[in-house]
Amino acid sequence: MTPKLPPEAPTELLVEAQRLAQCATLPASEGSVKLGTAGWTDPSLIKCHRFYPRGKNSPEDRLRFYATQFQLVEVDATYYTLLEPQTVQRWVDWTPEGFRFDIKSHPVLTGHPIDIARAPADLAKSLAEVAGEKPRIYPKYLPNVIREELVGRFLAQLEPLTRAGRLGCVMLQFPPWFQATRGNARHLESLRKQLGELPLSVEFRHRSWLEAGRQARVLDLLRGERMSYVIVDEPDVPLGGVPPTALVTQPGLALFRLHGHNREGWKRGSSVWERFDYLYSASELGRWVPAVRDVKQRAERVHVVFNNCVRDYAVLGAKGLAALLQGAIQPPEVGEMGGKPRVDGAPVVFDGPLAGQPQED
């Protein structure tokens, strides 16, 4: 059953976002900063008829058009299934040389449950034998031979991107139950060994990783494993609530992921559309301009991904922030363009001296 699309954003807010987005020079970027969205084929994006021109109906047409608007996209399909390398090669062929793909990691690497129905047919049978009647199975219950096969196929689908120099990073988004423990720190170390020299980024969904007494050690761990810390914007709720802190752990790449602030939808059991139904106001985007500019000075490349993928809200956010970074319009004061800030979190915190002494896990 297809989940019901939430109601449209308030007209005043939508018009504000559209006007700001129209100020951006395309493709949306600013120097070493590339902006984009999480995916380019979300059904609600296509059905809203506000992004793709009429007649852009094929996968090739849509990706080619998307690449005229942005130089970066995050691929979320790789989280749900394993793709054939030929499919990924077509993405390379359909986009210009400067275009980059950030790849969301498969659950076998992050510990999320694997959806058996979406696995390749030959592997689905093996997964079902282990899972029994359950539709999903956690990687920790898999025999090593199956797990290694999943990892191998995940890496195989990346080969066209790495060969062409088009891979931005592999984004490892961990679940809320992945807390800061010694065992989980060792898991991060093991991922670097498994994934070789691939550019890796890490998004935590549990605030324990940034607690004052532990943060310095966590950042040292990421630096040592050459992993980029993912700077997030998300609701301050128990299921998430990682603070928006502009940290740089890998000078080659810094990554922002903006999820919106839909507190009501950010809960266990909610659909993707319910969780990420959020349109950023101009003033909310403006609070991120200093952080992105600061990080730009400390990292060679900066990727900014909007994950509020309901209708064209992510598109509007990415273009709107690009317009502000490009200086096409000054970051507005609160309420200046009519939109009212709805951010529930604290202002973005810049990387600075770390307080507190190390504590035992």
What's residue 275's pLDDT?
Answer: 75
What's residue 342's pLDDT?
Answer: 46
Higher local confidence (pLDDT), 31 or 341: 31
State the pLDDT confidence band at 338, using cuts at 50, 70 and 90.
Answer: very low
pLDDT tens digit sequence for 122-142: 999 999 999 999 999 999 999
Strand partners, 36: 72, 305
CB under 8 Å to 337, separation ≥6 — which residues? 16, 19, 20, 281, 282, 283
Q: Among residues of the chain, what percentage have pLDDT more than 90? A: 81
Q: Please name the amino acid found at residue 330.
A: Q
pLDDT of residue 196 exceeding 90, the answer is yes
CB under 8 Å to 101, separation ≥6 — which residues? 72, 73, 74, 75, 91, 161, 166, 167, 168
State the pLDDT confidence band at 3, using cuts at 50, 70 and 90.
Answer: low
Q: For 322, left (φ over 0), alpha (ψ -120 to 50), or beta? A: alpha
Q: How far is CA 333 from CA 25, 283, 286, 340, in A?
A: 22, 6, 8, 10
The class of domain 11-340 in CATH terms is: alpha beta
Higher local confidence (pLDDT), 176 or 241: 176
Phi, psi of 131 (to 5 degrees): -80, -20
What's residue 361's pLDDT?
Answer: 33
Mean pLDDT for the chain overall: 90
What's residue 97's pLDDT?
Answer: 97
In three-state secondary structure terms, 257 is strand
**Rounded to whole angstroms, how far apart are CA atoms 256 and 74?**
12
State the pLDDT confidence band at 344, using cuts at 50, 70 and 90.
Answer: very low
What's residue 337's pLDDT?
Answer: 46
**Could you state, in order of their start, the residue ranges of all structural domains in the chain?**
11-340
pLDDT tens digit sequence for 38-87: 999 999 999 999 999 999 999 999 999 999 999 999 999 999 999 999 99
Output DSSP code: residue 238.
Answer: S
Higher local confidence (pLDDT), 314 or 332: 314
